[in-house]
Amino acid sequence: MSIDKRSLQRFQNREDSGEQAQVRLEASQIAAREGNLNEARHLLWALLKEDPGQTEAWLGLAWLAENRRERELLLQRVLRLEPENAKARSELDRLQQVSHPPSPRDGRGGLRLRLLALASLTLVAVLGLAAILIWAPVDVSLAWLVPTAVPTPLPTPTRAPSETAAQFEPQLEAALANENWDRAQEIVAIMQSVDPSGEAVQDWAVTTHKQYGQALVGAGQVDEAEAQFAQAVNLAPADGEAHLWLETTQSYIEGRDALQAGQWDAAIEAFARAQGRMPDYADVSDRLLEAYHLKGKAALEDGEWTLSIESLTYVYDRVPEDAEVVALLADAYRQRGISRQEDRELEQARGDLEMALSLSPDDAEAQAHLDEVMYELFPPKRIEIDISEQRFYAWEGDTLVYKFLTSTGLRGKDTAAGHFKVLDKIPMAYSSIWRLEMPYWLGIYYVGSIENGIHALPIRPDGSVMWGGLLGQRASYGCVILSTEAARIIYDWAEIGTPVHIHY
């Protein structure tokens, strides 16, 4: 929708008397075109009551005259005010010719002349009606009337201004219903000119400004809408709805201007204020999301990861299907995770990298850094047994956490070399073959139906401990033997599935 504000300027600036007279002239023309001839006459007489020198008002009354004699008198008044008025002179001459036809020479000629006179009178009526329909505004800056008595004075209507203004209400209602804003503004201006202080007229004016402003908001013309709401508030300072629309529109404009200037925080604050007042105002929700989006993108470019995440998360929570926002947010989480990893904030880095992968599962860079972080946070446990040196090692990642003397199988009953893992954990295992209790058992591999494992010094049926002085040399029947204290530590530390590497 396009609005030509200049076309309404003549109705919005009516402070001097000349412009008020022009409005009344135009009002009478509108009434005449719509067939309200009495209303048109009333408006012209009201104008002449204030300014008897309005030549165009007298001329308008002449066109609206109900008989030829009345029209002649009114045209003579026009010529007394403006002797050179061509319209009045031409019409008066025509009327006088019709009223004094040549004398007929014979009966047949007389009949022809009478018919001619009747045709002329008919033409006068037609021309009068045409004048009513096409009467257009002309210059009204004329000389003052020279007081001269009118031979036949015409009655002056006594209708109240409010009654006159009320005659235009149906037309205004129709214009508002059809969203014909130019027409609505024109009618309001006429009503205000006729009844400037009328309460009903003011209410109609306020309603027109508000409805017009709301239509402009819907069309995206918020600057023009602000002017309409401002006029409504000026006319009705206590109108809460008008204030709400005006203040919301002003906040929206403030946000829009800040957004165009790259002032993201100011734009967000203004749009949020507008949305808080009227959640459904225009496209304020979309503009607020746009401001957060641009703020998050700019922060990402500046390396402000946390600020970027906060801004982009606002958008993501509301439009999770926005692919660009998802990519930007994943990037921000990955970058912050890497930065935290470098600062040894491993738990925080882990959370950021996992978020990056949840948003972008194929992010190889985020996965690589997460693996590094997880390795440091939860280094893999592994057991190493060196048969040659009879040493037992417990590792977490690349860190050696325990080192003990051990005893592996005697020759012929050798402990098997290879890669195994903890299969089971038994606080106190029992060997029916050897009739021995084996505290803190960790099973690692089978030899036939017999399981070998890691355990503490075995206990005989009489309660004595075997191989207590032999740790550090071969002594067992194939198991890996630790001191009771060392076995307890490893039992608590190791988990089922912990890798066990036995070598020479």
Average pLDDT across each block of 10 residues of the chain; the chain has 504 residues. List them in order: 39 53 79 79 84 90 87 88 89 79 50 51 49 40 33 56 92 96 94 91 97 97 98 97 98 98 98 97 98 98 98 98 98 98 97 98 97 95 98 96 98 97 98 95 96 97 94 96 98 98 98
- Report d(CA 458, CA 407) in Å as an integer: 12
Q: Which of 403, 383, 404 shows the shortest CA–CA distance to 496?
A: 383
Asked whether 259 and 290 are in contact (CB, 8 A), the reply is: yes
Reported pTM: 0.67
Q: For the chain, which residues make up each domain, given as ranges?
A: 16-101+112-144, 165-282, 286-378, 381-503
Q: Which of 106, 112, 107, 48 shows the shortest CA–CA distance to 81?
A: 48
pLDDT score, position 322: 97
- Report d(CA 372, CA 241) in Å as an integer: 60
Asked whether 113 and 104 are in contact (CB, 8 A), the reply is: yes
pLDDT score, position 147: 36
- Report d(CA 291, CA 296) in Å as an integer: 9
Question: Is the Cα dihedral 64, 69, 72, 74 positive or negative?
Answer: negative
Instruction: Supply the CATH classification number for the domain 165-282.
Output: 1.25.40
**Does 165-282 match 286-378 in CATH topology?**
yes
Q: What is the domain class of 286-378 according to CATH?
A: mainly alpha
DSSP state string for 348-374: HHHHHHHHHHHH-TT-HHHHHHHHHHH
The SS3 of residue 457 is coil
- Report d(CA 440, CA 482) in Å as an integer: 10
The SS3 of residue 228 is helix
pLDDT score, position 120: 52
When the candidates are 3.40.50.300, 3.40.50.970, 2.40.440.10, 3.40.630.30, the CATH number that belongs to 381-503 is 2.40.440.10
Strands 480-482 and 450-456 come out as parallel
- Please report the beta strands in 330-421, taking only residues with DSSP state E, as ranges in sequence order: 381-386, 391-396, 399-405, 418-421
Per CATH, the homologous superfamily of domain 16-101+112-144 is: Tetratricopeptide repeat domain (1.25.40.10)
- Report d(CA 273, CA 287) in Å as an integer: 12
